[in-house]
Structure 1
């Protein structure tokens, strides 16, 4: 858990520096100070995403390394005419790297599924006298990531269907879309990062007591959260050219003071939508 907290904090700090840098560049440009044209080009966006992802994952992210390489290559080629003779090899090498990544990821997934199966069978045998509560053995199964931390929190895992039994959120939607339905009955909050992507989060089956915090960082993306109408949701999100809407249908009984969700983070050129059934 200590490693996971440090990892999440590093990601939040990196995101903060990105927002700070963009703000400074825009301010200097408005003041008439010369800003090189390449600073606001699309290869720089790839570089920023690559650096952010690498810092967040302690420089052990294949995706971050690829984004950084592609951004750097196209920036040097387009703006400084430095091709290094790699132009004809970039896309073949990229496809090879993608193939290797998919193969290695599949092996990791198979290994994780095998560990889950073994843990589930062990827990089932050890709790045979409590067979009526076998669902608890599923929640006790732990999946470890590359850094040795449990994915999504202290306990639980996410099925390939998008159903999550984790107590904490850990969602990264970068150039992609994520659909997640959380089933935890001891929900502890977590974090959502959406960069040039989107996330749909269903929290209608979640239960908790007290105050929890969800860190939401969105840049050129969107997040939709479906929550029960009686939750007390408080927003402390910074909006920069972004939108935040609460479209819930409130009940006559009002909000439940024992279920408070605090949303924190930054939304830059994106949107956060909160709904209920």
Structure 2
């Protein structure tokens, strides 16, 4: 299977600079410093989102560059009267480009899933040759059970996994980006290791009721003009270290009589700007 380079930038630094810039602009405006009117226009929102996406993905984000182009074009046209003579073609070309991107992205996802299946099949055959045990494997269940009932590599700490189109994830860590979109994710791992959630003008629903872990895990939550709903088992110890700026944070869990389990601690870190984070349990 191909080796995919893991990004060294989780987006927190870029998100922090964006929040810092917005704060500085608002502060300067409050103290009477002149701020150009175009700084607070809607094309600037597209530019900010584009910058965030481009920096977060180390300048390899098609979506980020598309947002930058649209934001820059409309800013130049609306605020500086530069039309470049392409006004009537912007939206058709933008939709065509976006459509091609979605088609190619889906094709790439299918290729990755095929490679995962091929790699797993090869791995299972090797294990069977060395141990002589009978394995049953299906992608639907994403589970391997030997004759003694032992679980597969997901329980042994392997971070590999995949997410089905239904939103069910068998990975050990989170990596959710909801930008102008909605994401539903249900984690099935028994070795949950935390991760990150970014919601910008979008929403994310994360169901951890089927997940399990021991110790302390951290989830980085960055929300700007969006919302995140986190569904967790009622006995988990959820600790919030989130900065709220004109935002809401609600814990609506139903606590059991036994209290929380100190051996399962989830620390929520990050920033919420004009958004909301809701924690629930069944």
1:14–1:55 CA contact under 8 A, matched in 2: yes
Cα 1:116–1:4 shift into 2, 3 Å: closer
Q: Give distance in 2, aligned partners of 1:78 and 1:140.
A: 55
**SS across alignment from 1:6:** coil
> 118-127 or 74-83: which moved more?
118-127
1:221–1:270 CA contact under 8 A, matched in 2: yes
**1:104-143 alpha-carbon deviations (Å, 9 max, x no partner):** 11321221122122123213323344435641489759xx
1:61 Cα deviation (Å)? 0.6
Q: Give distance in 1, aligned partners of 2:233 and 2:257.
A: 13
Q: State the match for 2:91 in structure 1.
A: 91
Between Structure 1 and Structure 2, the one with more helix by share is: 1
**1:53-106 alpha-carbon deviations (Å, 9 max, x no partner):** 000001101100100000000000000000111101111211221222123113
For residues 264-275 of structure 1, the aligned pairs below 5 Å read: 264-275=269-280
Q: Give distance in 2, aligned partners of 1:5 and 1:102.
A: 21
1:139–1:156 CA contact under 8 A, matched in 2: no
**SS across alignment from 2:6:** helix
Q: Give distance in 2, aligned partners of 1:157 and 1:276.
A: 25
2:251–2:279 CA contact under 8 A, matched in 1: yes
Q: Give distance in 2, aligned partners of 1:162 and 1:237.
A: 26
Q: State the match for 2:124 in structure 1.
A: 124
Q: State the match for 1:263 in structure 2.
A: 268
1:140–1:156 CA contact under 8 A, matched in 2: no
Structure 1 residue 44 and structure 2 residue 44: aligned? yes
Q: Give distance in 2, aligned partners of 1:100 and 1:5.
A: 24
Q: State the match for 1:146 in structure 2.
A: none
Structure 1 residue 68 and structure 2 residue 71: aligned? no
Q: State the match for 1:144 in structure 2.
A: none
Q: State the match for 1:149 in structure 2.
A: none
Q: State the match for 1:100 in structure 2.
A: 100
1:235–1:262 CA contact under 8 A, matched in 2: yes
- TM-score, reference length from structure 2: 0.89
Q: State the match for 2:251 in structure 1.
A: 246
Q: Give distance in 2, aligned partners of 1:139 and 1:102.
A: 33
1:24 Cα deviation (Å)? 0.5
- TM-score, reference length from structure 1: 0.90
**SS across alignment from 1:117:** helix
Q: State the match for 2:192 in structure 1.
A: 187
CA RMSD of aligned residues (A): 2.0
Q: Give distance in 1, aligned partners of 2:249 and 2:226.
A: 12
Choose the corresponding residue for 1:174, options 179, 194, 205. Answer: 179
For residues 16-35 of structure 1, the aligned pairs below 5 Å read: 16-35=16-35
* Total equivalences in the alignment: 264
**SS across alignment from 2:58:** coil
1:196 Cα deviation (Å)? 0.2
2:234–2:255 CA contact under 8 A, matched in 1: yes
> 21-30 or 93-102: which moved more?
93-102
Q: State the match for 2:55 in structure 1.
A: 55
Q: Give distance in 1, aligned partners of 2:67 and 2:224.
A: 16
Q: State the match for 1:6 in structure 2.
A: 8
